[in-house]
Structures are given as C-alpha cells and as structure tokens.
Amino acid sequence: MVKNLYIILVLVGLGFMFYTFADGFESADKLNPVAERYAKQGPDEVGAANLVTAVVVTYRGLDTLGEVTILFLSAAIVAFFLKVTYGEEEKRQTRSVSEIMQTAARLLTPAVFLLGIYVFINGHLTPGGGFQGGAIIASGLVLMLLAKPNMKVSHTLIHVVESISGLAFVFIGVLGILYAGGFLDNSLMGMGTLGSLLSAGVIPLIYIFVGLKVGAELSNIVAHLQESQNEA
C-alpha cells in the first residue's frame, strides 16, 4: 500500500516537473553558437552534405568509436551469457511457417540487405548512416530466422566481418594522426565535391566499416537469442 503511494508520488512529481517544463516551451529562434559553427564551417571543413554525419563521424568521432565499443561489449556479454551447449540435438517444436512468410522472406531478404548497404554507403549525403544501415541488415537476418526458425547462422563469418571492420575503423583513425590533422581526421583522402558519392574524405569508408560492424554485432545478438531457445 505504502509502496503504491510512493509510486504515485514519484509519477505525479515527475509529471508535474515535466509539465511545467513543457507547457511554456518555445523552441529557439536561432542555433546556439556551437551548432552555428558546425553549420557554417562543416560543409567546408568536413565536406559532408549531411551535417549530422559530420558531427557523428568527424567532430565527435571519438564518441562514435566509444559507442561501437559499447555495442561490441553488449554483444559479447550476450554471447557469453547465452553460450549454447551443443549437446543432444533436441530441436524445439515449432509450428510450420506459412507459405506466404517463406516466399516473402525469400523475395525480400536480398532487397533488405541491399537497402541496408545503400543506407550506409550514402550516409554522408542522405539521412541514415552506418548504425541505421547495420540495423537494417540485422533486420534482414531476423526476417530469415522467422521464415526458417531452425536455420544455423555462421558465427565464424560474423566474427571475421566484425573484427576486420573494427580494426579498420581504428586503423583509419591512426592513419589520421600520421598523415592528417589528428585521430579520425577525415581529410586523409580528397574532399571531392560537396554532395557527390566520393566526397567528405574518409567518412564513406568509416561508415562502411561501422555499418558492417553494427550489422554483424546485431546479427550476433539475434542469432544467440535464437539459438538459446533450442535449449531449456
């Protein structure tokens, strides 16, 4: 009883705080100085048409590296927790997947993978980028697993892709120290013209590796969650 009262108090208090903040909310008329600098200098300094990408990959590139590391860590912990014991092959009983689902998955999976690749290759020009593209690729794997619940996912392939792209990301960053302005500086390669595919220095390259890495990590998590259903 007292517990319920506390919960109500917390929710009402927080709701009141939120409400007073949101009620008179007026969005700003102009950008704050940091954002203004990014907007004015970004196109020339970084060369990416998508300014969010410029912030994510170049201005805050170290944050992105940390973020990829956190994702790797959570994928590794999931893999550690759901370690599969390949003992007696007792398949879990699943309802047979409907014809529509199987055909649609066969038709759509290549298109989903292609869309993911498109999204991360064009990350510096259009909305999207490595993380979103990687998530789309992993969702293609989810579709495949829904159509074939007992499919085996190759962990070796996932680990190879993940390790190579992670190493390449750091390697590009270190090359930036040696040959350009600093760690993850994108002026390592030519800037190109603003808005074309081969522009913004190494951003497309970094986003390709980020996309592959995120796709591999999320696929790894999904595959481990699927396999752990076979035990129990």
Q: Which residues here bind other proteins, judged by CB under 8 A?
A: 7, 10-11, 14-15, 18-19, 22, 25, 27-32, 34-36, 38-40, 42-44, 49-52, 54-56, 60, 63-64, 67, 70-71, 73-75, 77-78, 81-82, 125-127, 129, 131, 135, 194-195, 214, 218, 221, 224-225, 228, 231-232
Q: Which is nearer to other proteins, 11 or 157 (CB)?
A: 11
Give the separation between CA 132 and CA 138, rounded to whole angstroms: 10
Residue 107 Cβ vs other proteins, minimum distance, rounded to whole Å: 27
Least CB distance from residue 179 to other proteins, whole Å?
26
Q: At closest approach, how far in Å is the CB of 214 from other proteins?
A: 7
DSSP 198: S
Residue 106 or 159 having the CB closest to other proteins: 159
The HSE-up count of residue 158 (CA atoms within 13 Å, CB side) is 23
Smallest gap from residue 205 Cβ to other proteins (A): 19
Closest by CA position to 214, among listed 150, 169, 147: 169
Tokens for 102, please give them.
Answer: 């199987």
List of long-range contacts for 165-171, beta carbons under 8 Å, 24+ apart: 165/208, 165/209, 165/210, 165/212, 165/213, 165/216, 166/68, 166/72, 166/209, 166/213, 168/209, 169/65, 169/68, 169/206, 169/209, 169/210, 169/213, 170/65
The residue among 84 and 180 lying less far from other proteins, judged by its C-beta, is 84
Rounded least distance, CB 65 to other proteins, Å: 11
Q: How far apart are CA 224 and CA 134, in angstroms?
A: 17
Closer to other proteins by Cβ: residue 164 or 194 = 194
**Residue placing its CB nearer to other proteins in the complex, 139 or 187:** 139
Question: 215 exposed, middle or buried (CB, 10 Å; 0-12, 13-18, 19+)?
Answer: buried
Distance from C-alpha of 171 to C-alpha of 165, rounded to nearest angstrom? 10
Q: Which is nearer to other proteins, 134 or 173 (CB)?
A: 134
Nearest distance from residue 143's CB to other proteins, in Å?
Answer: 17
CB of 95 to other proteins, least distance (A): 21
Question: Please, which residue, 102 or 228, has the CB nearer to other proteins?
Answer: 228
